[in-house]
Amino acid sequence: MTDITLFPQPARLERSGETFSLPPDARIIAHDRALGEILANYLRPATGFALPVDAANNGETNAIILEAATAGDSPEAYSLVAGGTTLRLRAADRRGFLHAFQTVRQLLPRQILSREVVTGVDWTMPGVAIDDEPAFGWRGMHLDVGRHFFPLDFIKKFIDLLAFYKLNTFHWHLTEDQGWRIEIKKYPLLTEIGGYRAETVIGHNSDEYDGQPYGGFYTQGEIREAVAYAAERGITIVPEIEMPGHAVAALAAYPHLGCRGEGYQVRTKWGIAEDIFCAGKDEVFDFLEDVLDETLGLFPSEYIHIGGDEAPKARWEQCLACQARIQAEGLADEHELQSWFIRRIENWLNAGGRRLVGWDEILEGGLAPNATVMSWRGSEGGIAAANAGHDVVMTPNTYCYLDYYQSLDRDSEPLAIPSDLPLQQVWDYVVIPPQIDKEKRHHILGGQGNIWTEYMPNSDHVEYMMFPRAIAIADVLWHHPQERDYAALVERLRAHLPSLDALGVNYRALDS
Ligand code: ACM
Ligand code: ZN
């Protein structure tokens, strides 16, 4: 039996000499039949075996046994023992079993990942005892569907891939200057007008445009389908509704929500827009609360992302309503107005039992009391927020921005954001910076990779930018290795990447 390569690497793994083989007449014995069926469904397409699921344990020979364990520290923990005629999976929580199933899929010959029956394969896995749990509870991947739109089929594939690497959070960036992608029943123009742009700039904001109308959106039915699909796979979708900035598509649909009140068009080029939601008009908050109300109805996630990044203050400085708000609330300036804006939204979310998460600009002018900060402009915002006692998700652009070039030889790569993030740099991602006080480290919930899609016009391209870098992020977030041996990572990836071929994923090949 060859070496075992698992991504992410388990916390503890011991080899034993005795392999486990899956015979056609194997049974799944499960205290929870629905869970057993999930495993059977993973194993069926490639093997063609219709493994029966029994609640009763009538003998453990040729069996995969799912056993309830007593709860430990992590609800995502599981153990797996394979050898002889049994494969035993134990977990206290459904989430732990789902991770165990992914480990089973990676331990079996990789043909198991095929969607069609593969004959002539000996379905044998190495003898192992694995005792596994994640280092961090927030292990995420973000996807921007505003700059380019990806259909529900790809969203499901994306979710499957997150599950395969034991990521548990999908941060779905649903609204942007260049497109509003979530149906809101009370404001149909958000998608009718805001879901489409007239054309798209060519390259890095050249002055040339492609002349092609572009757009799309998810119906609420599709969103529900995605949320359910993710939940079945142990993944929480955190929706992002951007405010006060990155809102031009919404302003194009409902111009009275901006400071100028007219003249907005869904943006056709990239970058930061000066037009943002007005902070002075009460209608803006009525609108945002209505939008969030429908959003909460679709997404059970405890966390709701409200953006908060890249909101220039030029319009607020010139707006009578915004200036009146600053006066009325006794605020010092537009930065405090941003803080007031976020606090107001936080109050509303908290009253509904949800928690606010936002990009690190929400530190500007004072952080809302219960807010969780997503540190993206490096780690400084996350360090400051954690040391001040706030929860933090660490996604520094210097390690986690998968829209950056994968090679320093940019000419050899497809067009990307003009910054560099080779795999080796991703692998150096340290989730808890040393500047965070020891007693505050528990505020680091985890981290995530971010996929901004200005330069990713289709899902093949998203996959190319995502892999293999997302695998390194998943590995770091699961077991947070103290030592980072890049040569060893590359060797593991060389053994593993054919699994992505089996899954039909377009990835960047390793440098030879
Ligand atoms: C961001 O990349 N603007 C959060
Ligand atoms: Zn205003």
Say what the pLDDT of residue 1 is: 42
How far apart (Å, rounded) are the C-alpha atoms in residues 350 and 341?
14
Task: Assess whether the C-beta atom of 376 lies below 6 angstroms from ligand 1.
Answer: yes
Structural domain boundaries enclosing 96: 12-132
| H or E stretch covering 386 | helix 380-387
366 and 288 housed in the same domain:
yes
191 and 65 housed in the same domain:
no
How far apart (Å, rounded) are the C-alpha atoms in residues 451 and 505?
16
125 and 227 housed in the same domain:
no
In a domain, 236, yes or no: yes
64 and 142 housed in the same domain:
no
Could you tell me which residues are beta bridge partners of residue 80?
A: 89, 130
The total number of structural domains that make up the chain: 2
Tell me which of 97, 115, 132 is where a domain ends.
132
Mutate to test the pocket of ligand 1, among 272, 309, 451 (most ligand atoms within 8 A of CB): 309
pLDDT band at 2 (very low <50, low <70, confident <90, very high): low
286 and 390 housed in the same domain:
yes
| Pair 160, 233: CB distance under 8 Å | yes
Task: Assess whether the C-beta atom of 377 lies below 6 angstroms from ligand 1.
Answer: no
Calculate how far, in angstroms, residue 307's C-alpha sits from the geometric centre of ligand 1.
8
Task: Assess whether the C-beta atom of 37 lies below 6 angstroms from ligand 1.
Answer: no
Residue (of 141, 142, 148, 143) closest to 454 by Cα position? 148
226 and 283 housed in the same domain:
yes
Tell me which of 77, 107, 132 is where a domain ends.
132
406 and 268 housed in the same domain:
yes
Calculate how far, in angstroms, residue 186's C-alpha sits from the geometric centre of ligand 2.
23
Q: Kindly report the three-state secondary structure assignment for every residue of 142-207.
A: EEECCCCCCCHHHHHHHHHHHHHCCCCEEEEECEECCEECECCCCCCHHHHCCCEECCCECCCCCC
From the CA of 256, the nearest ligand is 2
108 and 171 housed in the same domain:
no
Q: Kindly report the three-state secondary structure assignment for every residue of 274-334.
A: CCCECCCCHHHHHHHHHHHHHHHHHCCCCEEEEECCCCCCHHHHHCHHHHHHHHHCCCCCH
Could you tell me which residues are beta bridge partners of residue 196?
A: 215
- pLDDT above 90 covers a percentage of the chain that reads 96
How far apart (Å, rounded) are the C-alpha atoms in residues 267 and 2?
53
299 and 281 housed in the same domain:
yes
Residue (of 397, 407, 501) closest to 493 by Cα position? 501
CATH number at residue 30: 3.30.379.10
Q: What is the pLDDT of residues 73-105, one digit of tens each?
A: 899 999 999 999 999 999 999 999 999 999 999
In a domain, 483, yes or no: yes
Residue 71: pLDDT above 90?
A: no
| Pair 390, 443: CB distance under 8 Å | yes
Residue 512: pLDDT above 90?
A: no
Mutate to test the pocket of ligand 1, among 270, 364, 374, 376 (most ligand atoms within 8 A of CB): 376
Report the nearest-CA residue for atom 2 of ligand 1. 376
Tell me which of 132, 150, 181 is where a domain ends.
132
CATH number at residue 371: 3.20.20.80
Q: Token pair of 493, please?
A: 């990836």
In a domain, 440, yes or no: yes
From the CA of 310, give the closest atom in ligand 1.
3
Calculate how far, in angstroms, residue 319's C-alpha sits from the geometric centre of ligand 2.
5
Q: What is the pLDDT of residues 469-491, one digit of tens each?
A: 999 999 999 999 999 999 999 99
From the CA of 307, give the closest atom in ligand 1.
4
Calculate how far, in angstroms, residue 281's C-alpha sits from the geometric centre of ligand 2.
7
100 and 161 housed in the same domain:
no
In a domain, 508, yes or no: no
In a domain, 217, yes or no: yes
In a domain, 6, yes or no: no
Mutate to test the pocket of ligand 1, among 452, 453, 454, 455 (most ligand atoms within 8 A of CB): 452
Q: What is the pLDDT of residues 336-358, one digit of tens each?
A: 999 999 999 999 999 999 999 99
Q: What is the pLDDT of residues 195-245, one digit of tens each?
A: 999 999 999 999 999 999 999 999 999 999 999 999 999 999 999 999 999
Read off the amino acid at residue 374: M
Task: Assess whether the C-beta atom of 378 lies below 6 angstroms from ligand 1.
Answer: no
In a domain, 98, yes or no: yes
